[in-house]
A and B are shown apart, each in its own frame.
Chain A
Amino acid sequence: MAAFETALGLVFEPYTLWMMVLSGLFGLFVGAMPGLTATMATALLVPVTFFMPPVPAVAMLVTATAMAIFAGDLPGALVRIPGTPASAAYVEDAHRLTRKGRAELVLGCGLVFSVIGGIFGSLVLAVSAPILAEFALGFSSFEYFWLALFGLSCAVFISTGRPLKGIVSVLIGLTLATVGIDPTAGHPRFTFGSVELTAGVSFIPAMIGMFAMAEVLRWVTSPRTIEDLAGRQKLGNVFKGQWQLLRRYWPNVLRSNVVGTAIGVLPGAGADIAAWVTYALSKRFSKEPEKFGTGHIEGVVDAGTANNSALAGAWVPALVFGIPGDTITAIVIGVLYIKGMNPGPTIMLNNPEFLYAIFIVFVLANILLLPLGWLAIKVFRRILAIPREFLMPMILVCCVVGSFAINNSVFGVGIMLVLGVLGYLMEENGFPIAPAILGLVLGEMIESHFMTSMIKADGNLLAFFERPVSAFLGAVTLLVWSWVVIGAIRRSLRGGPAPTGEAAVP
């Protein structure tokens, strides 16, 4: 109880609250700009958090992402470009509703159901994280190895429809993680004589490059035109009609909360996949499936709820095991390490007040979403009016400064540039970025647990299955791999095409 009171004190400090409001406005801005993602908002905020105490730093990241995911609905509804990939699932319905003159209803729905989803996910996080952390205290290197490998496997097989390219992406991330001094023998690997590389590929510049810079390159190579409905819409009270929606669709909201949070908890899958899956479920179980895609609010309710609940869900494995649930928590884990708040089961023993502070921040950020989101809806037209021709070069400058600030070295900027171009080329060719980032973040953890386990077992691979939890996790991981490999072989024998990622990822 004392820890909870300390946490309350840490969160309700004026400095933390101000930082939450400022980062909330920043998140709304980034989310509302078509083409800029919530992950990018997080990556760009990281350099600012270097110089803060841990709680305001994490509060900033949590608030910015919650706001950005909601704000992605605004350009989706008004200009038919989802602000973030998490809003892509229902962009057609949202836009058509706007065309029918119901912008008020659809934007209000995005806001209210984002708040509901966010609060539900936060409660699941608060309840499950301490229980799981206690359970995980008994884990050894064998369990951690399997858990991290399971996380990577999920990232490969969930985030892309073509597993082969997902595997290549993971291998790229793991290879980048091997650069530098190796964790067991201390031998420098792939450093090519560079002193800077002996410290490894710093993953903050890597992520800024792969997400933010790659995004700018995508914009440069895009048609750069926008169909604007924002100017033609009159927006009154956006909260009107939301209670009726909640009464009508409460089973959908409940289902989407549960599914969204569960997908968030699954390592490697985040808000965008939660939105696609719940939209599909919504259509499958709807009494009016034929209306989906023609301007029907039901899918917007479902997926809008799920994408925000997934955000908090993704923090469960990140905090408890140090394994990111999505790309945003991959960045957050980096920040936690920098702050000395090493994520893992001992966080509950060493820093319980910090864990409680995160729960409180989550609930607070979602409550803050109501007034700030309302404000964003009102001023959206002005946000959209900011010329992208200035904004994109300025984002590049922020990328440069952020990558420099991590070690005060221009080497970080070089990493950002190289990986930005690599990230752009990967996405263009159907290689998902998220598995590479997870591979980079988890690489050292996987290798050190793998090597420790190998030394303990004297090279006997069967030892990886001797402990009950380790055997279970190993079996599940191998099952996932066999299922995918057998599926690929069967498809290849039938001569049919391999699935592409379009169904899962926009």
Chain B
Amino acid sequence: MRIHDSAIGLVLLLLAAFMAREAAGFPPMPGQRFGPSLVPNLLAAGFAICGLALVVSGLRRREVEGLVELGEWARKGGHVLDVGLVVGGLALLILLWKPIGFLIGATLYTGLLAARFRGGRLPSSLLVAALACFAVDWAFRRLLLVPLPQGPLTGLYW
């Protein structure tokens, strides 16, 4: 997904303004002329200069037609939906991390994604995903002692 350089430049200018405003609220260091706001202010100045340069160069170069250009892949069957599923599914997995646990959540996530990428065959995708996630759960919980949440399966396996 390509975004027009000028639009990126504008975002950087806004970011610079936001950083400078936030940094203005940082207290100075006792006995010094500078404090925690010095580096954020320098970075904000850097963003402002680069943002301006990008706005100007974007208007001169015009590499991207319009504000956003999705590219060839977006025209191929459902690639946009695939990206949405990867990102949205992961966001959902984070939200449901504790209630449904790692094993159930990760199996559903990988199984459904694999089925989507393979163009169907949901049962076999879910089966392979369940086995693979079980192996990951075993390795991390049993061998590496990472407390992955078990959700409704708490106490049913190791």
Interface positions of A (Cβ within 8 A of B): 47-48, 50-51, 164, 167-168, 171, 174-175, 178, 182, 184-185, 187, 189-190, 216-217, 220-223, 387-390, 392-394, 396-398, 400-401, 404-405, 408, 410, 413-414, 417, 421, 425, 428-429, 447, 450-451, 454-455, 459, 497-498
Contact = CB atoms under 8 A, between A and B. Distances in A.
A187 B43 CA distance: 17
A187 B30 CA distance: 12
Given A389-B114, A389-B118, A167 B50 contact: yes
Nearest to B117: A389
B86 interface: yes
Nearest to B4: A429
B71 interface: yes
Given A164-B53, A397-B106, A387 B118 contact: yes
B151 to A, nearest CB: 13
A404 B148 contact: yes
A417 B92 CA distance: 11
Contacts of B40: 175, 178, 189-190
Task: Say whether chain B's binding surface is mostly helix, strand, loop, or mixed.
Answer: helix
Interface residues of B, number: 66
A200 to B, nearest CB: 13
27 contacts: A47-B140, A47-B146, A168-B54, A171-B50, A178-B43, A182-B39, A184-B36, A190-B22, A220-B86, A389-B114, A389-B117, A392-B117, A393-B110, A393-B113, A393-B114, A393-B129, A394-B136, A396-B86, A396-B109, A397-B106, A401-B102, A401-B136, A413-B93, A428-B1, A429-B8, A450-B39, A454-B38
Contacts of B143: 51
A221 B3 contact: no
Contacts of B50: 164, 167-168, 171
Contacts of A410: 94, 97-98
A175 B29 contact: no
B123 interface: no
B132 A390 contact: yes
A425 B38 CA distance: 29
B4 to A, nearest CB: 9
A497 B61 CA distance: 8
The list of the 5 closest CB pairs from A to B, nearest first, reads A393-B110, A389-B117, A182-B36, A393-B113, A221-B73
A425 B3 contact: yes
A178 to B, nearest CB: 6
A389 B125 CA distance: 9
A51 B144 CA distance: 6
Nearest to B49: A167
B2 A459 contact: no
Contacts of A394: 110, 129, 132, 136
B43 A175 contact: yes
Nearest to A397: B106
Contacts of A400: 90, 93, 106
